[in-house]
Amino acid sequence: MIKAFYILFFTCASFAAQAQELSKWQGKWELGRYWDGAGGSLIISDCQKDKCHFEIGTVNGAHTCSVEGEISISDNQAIFEEEVDFGDGEEKRKTQIAMTLDRTKNIITVQNKSGNNVYCGMRGFFDGEYENEKNPYRYQTSFDCWAQDLSVAKKVICSSKELASLDKEYVLLFNRQVDDKSLNKCADDKACLKDFYLSQIKSKFSKDGKIDMFSYVQQFKKPYFSPTDFALLRNYLQKNMSAVDNEAWQVSLSDVYHQECQDCFMLDFGAPGLYTEYESVFYLDAAEMWLAFVSANLKDSSQIIVYTNSNSQSMPKGISEWIDGQKKYHRGKIIIKKLPTSALID
């Protein structure tokens, strides 16, 4: 009788421990929670014994992915496999999706192991790190936001998209991290931290108390940068564009293409699968700044909006060619709006 009791006790304890382990997998997990224009979710539910139901849905512009089924779990690893008919007249082929749970960071890494993309559109994807929806936001910075001994100031920086961006920009410019002593003076004051970073960045490009925008942007002349990645330029545009236009323009900033441009800086942008609806171009040289985009405002979606600080009657070649290309799809007005004449900012 006693032996039977202990067997029952340990069996129940084992099931309880297994249920507790599976519960760490259950819930909603988010991909790209810090991205614009792309992302998705992984939902894990109905866990029994060593199996759980899962659903993945992701979006990249107009391209999507969708897959669901049952995963088999062993400790911190999970596998989904099935035979799929690809519709090409050949035999069914096996697909495999692997998942790894990081219990410390509360993140699941998903990887398509089968080498095919049967669950996605042409440019869709679902590989990546999915954070539990209950995780506090931690943006990427120059330091480890997962460290246990973060100062109050660093915790604030990790939770702020703007401050995290400023921190990374500081490191790119000065090739060193900010010392804790400087940050700790601000503690949890976001405005103080922002002013500190901006004052340091401005000091590197100051010219008669103002910033030479062209010199500043040239420091980061890399294909994957967009105007919103430059803190000083981002603030300048937000200050001098209408809120509606600024939001409409930023819809396009998913894919970036660096254009060859002698003595100037030029970038093309578009949202994957939606290029004719959401496109823009940015141009900057030592004297002129031009920004043109297709309006994402439903009331004037056929218009092309142009912002410039130039008083010239002619546009740079790259801007005029881009506008000519857009006229094939958008026959509305070309609206030109003025930026401050000087390319220097306070």
Q: How far apart are CA 274 and CA 120, in angstroms?
A: 17
Would you place residue 100 in the very low, low, confident or very high pLDDT band (cuts 50, 70, 90)? very high
C-alpha angle 294-297-298 in degrees, rounded to nearest 5: 115
Contacts 24+ apart (CB under 8 A), 232-238: 232/198, 232/201, 232/202, 232/205, 232/345, 235/198, 235/345, 236/345, 237/291, 237/307
Q: Greater confidence, 300 or 94?
A: 94
Could you report the per-residue pLDDT of 293-331, keeping only the tens digit for each? Answer: 887 655 555 788 899 999 888 898 888 888 888 877 766
- Residues 6 or more apart whose CB falls under 8 angstroms from that of 215 comprise 205, 207
Q: Greater confidence, 149 or 269?
A: 149
Residue 184 main-chain phi, psi, to 5 deg:
-65, -20
How many Cα neighbours within 13 Å face the side chain of 83? 3
Distance of CA 189 to the CA centre of its chain: 25
Would you place residue 91 in the very low, low, confident or very high pLDDT band (cuts 50, 70, 90)? confident
Would you say 82 and 94 are in contact if contact means Cβ atoms under 8 Å apart? Answer: yes
Six token digits for residue 47: 């866990």
> What pLDDT does 221 receive?
57
> What pLDDT does 127 receive?
92
Is residue 222 left, alpha or beta, with left meaning phi > 0 and alpha meaning psi from -120 to 50? beta
How many Cα neighbours within 13 Å face the side chain of 144? 5
> What pLDDT does 183 receive?
93
**What is the DSSP code (8-state) at residue 7?**
H
> What pLDDT does 8 receive?
47
Would you place residue 129 in the very low, low, confident or very high pLDDT band (cuts 50, 70, 90)? very high
Would you place residue 187 in the very low, low, confident or very high pLDDT band (cuts 50, 70, 90)? very high
Q: How far is CA 67 from CA 113, 117, 238, 339, in A?
A: 14, 11, 39, 47
Residue 78 main-chain phi, psi, to 5 deg:
-140, 145
> What pLDDT does 323 receive?
85
Site of tokens 């601000």: 186
Six token digits for residue 204: 């590197």
Dihedral sign for Cα 158, 164, 167, 168, please.
positive
Angle between helices 190-205 and 231-240 (to 10 degrees): 110
The percentage of residues in the chain with a pLDDT greater than 70, rounded to a whole number, is: 79
> What pLDDT does 321 receive?
86
**pLDDT higher than threshold 60 for residue 276:** no
Residue 51 main-chain phi, psi, to 5 deg:
-130, 150
Hey, which bits of 36-186 come out as E strands?
38-48, 51-60, 63-74, 77-84, 93-102, 107-112, 128-132
Q: How far is CA 64 from CA 11, 32, 83, 122, 123, in A?
A: 44, 14, 21, 8, 8
Report yes or no on whether pTM surpasses 0.75: no
**pLDDT higher than threshold 60 for residue 343:** no
| Short-list 169, 65, 152, 164, CA closest to 110 | 65
Would you say 296 and 225 are in contact if contact means Cβ atoms under 8 Å apart? Answer: no
**pLDDT higher than threshold 80 for residue 90:** no
Site of tokens 């660093």: 154
Would you place residue 107 in the very low, low, confident or very high pLDDT band (cuts 50, 70, 90)? very high
